[in-house]
Amino acid sequence: MTDRIKQFLADNREDGPRLVVDLDVVRDNYRSFADALPDTRVFYAVKANPAPEILSLLAGLGSCFDTASVAEIELALAAGASPDRVSFGNTIKKEKDIARAFALGVRLYAVDCGAEVEKVARAAPGSKVFCRILCDGAGAEWPLSRKFGCAPDMAADVLERAHALGLVAHGLSFHVGSQQRNPRMWNRALQVSAGIFRDLAERGIQLAMLNLGGGFPTRYLKRVAPVQTYGQSIFRALRRHFGNRIPETIIEPGRGMVGDAGIIEAEVVLISKKSQQDHVRWVYLDIGKFNGLAETMDEMIRYPIRTDCDAEALGPCVLAGPSCDSVDVLYEKDPYLLPVTLEIGAKVLIEGTGAYTTTYSTVGFNGFAPLKSYVI
């Protein structure tokens, strides 16, 4: 935890779970990405944390923005980004939203099939499109399934169709899966991408851009390699597959930009056992799956939790949220170790919670308020 967050929590005591994000950490992260991949433009994935203070800071630092909806486009523009720094990166868009984005000046769109190309051609004529290809999220803690992207052997047809309809067939994109702990996972996608670049060149279409997506990890309980390692690995793979004709590249970090900038302060509401003999305690917090910790789904993201008694002996706990829904259990398959002296009413700090928490909170399930957020 940063000194600034510690100070803020001490100076502003308050009931209820709250997220505090330190902008200094976001600034450092932006610079690390820019340094690690110096020839690559950064498009921050707004969905990770759309707080206006974060977007304004990044806009000021020169970041571009990957957006998924008209509302996110408007947030990026309001933060000071010009429309040429905004990408409409969702492959699933209503045609009227594409038209709205076009009216706002956005000229860069993601597609992954012919039907979406046709929508973009009608609603955003002459714009640049990039085709997303499927990428199996192996090695990622939060893999992205088959929902987005098309098979590599279809991508050339999708882009050729875009070209025929008067769009600019601009490039390719992929996402190696979020919280990708293996820096070498970009290599395979880049090899496949290079093949599609060649295929299209043979059809007379020169692609110009490669979107390397997000997936850069943040530190939770397990160690992750620094962003420099990812940068080197990606650069080597680009050299290997594109030789001295490396196209323009962009990255879309979300989690890696803001994850470690945020800490949630929460409170222990109840500690109990399910039987007298049970050696596993149930620890119920005032935050759970419905008010900020949705990414504990299937116990995929395992957050570090700090208490005031971390020096004491540890014992296994099932960790659960406060709501009256039985799925609101955070960690049970793999019990979480917490100090045996932890008491009801104690504050706990949940680290690495700057990404995918505030906007992943329900509007008020069971009357529990959406997660409060402070950006300092």
Ligand X SMILES: *Cc1c(COP(=O)(O)O)cnc(C)c1O
User: Residues with catalytic annotation?
Assistant: 324
Q: H-type helices in 104-209, by residue range?
A: 114-123, 152-164, 185-202
Binding of residue 175 to ligand X (CB under 6 A): yes
Binding of residue 231 to ligand X (CB under 6 A): no
Question: 66 vs 286, which CB is nearer to ligand X?
Answer: 66
Binding of residue 215 to ligand X (CB under 6 A): yes
Q: Which two tokens stand for residue 366?
A: 């069971």
Nearest to 91 by CA among 157, 146, 49: 146
Which phi-psi region, left, alpha or beta, contains residue 96 (left: φ > 0; alpha: ψ -120 to 50)? alpha
Segment contacting ligand X by CB under 6 A, of 77-85, 98-106, 210-218, 288-296: 210-218
CA–CA separation, 213 and 177 (whole Å): 9
Instruction: Please state the closest distance from residue 89 (CB atom) to ligand X, in A.
Output: 4
Query: Contact with ligand X (CB under 6 A): which of 17, 50, 89, 152?
Result: 89
CB 219 within 8 A of CB 141: no
Per-residue binder mask for ligand X (CB under 6 A), 47-66, x = binder? xx-----------------x
Question: 178 vs 361, which CB is nearer to ligand X?
Answer: 178
Return phi, psi of residue 45, to 5°: -75, 100
Binding of residue 354 to ligand X (CB under 6 A): no
Query: Which residue's entry shows tokens 């820019």?
Result: 34
Question: 265 vs 295, which CB is nearer to ligand X?
Answer: 295
Nearest to 250 by CA among 216, 210, 295: 210
Q: How many residues line the site for ligand X (CB under 6 A)?
A: 16
| CA atoms within a 13 Å half-sphere pointing along the CA-CB vector of 251 | 27
Segment contacting ligand X by CB under 6 A, of 160-168, 213-221, 329-337, 343-351: 213-221
Binding of residue 73 to ligand X (CB under 6 A): no
Strand 347-351 with 314-320, pairing: unpaired
Strand 168-173 with 64-67, pairing: unpaired
Per-residue binder mask for ligand X (CB under 6 A), 290-329, x = binder? ----------------------------------------
Per-residue binder mask for ligand X (CB under 6 A), 14-33, x = binder? --------------------
Q: Which two tokens stand for residue 367?
A: 């009357």
CB 137 within 8 A of CB 179: no
Residues that bind ligand X (CB under 6 A): 45, 47-48, 66, 89, 175, 178, 213-216, 252-256
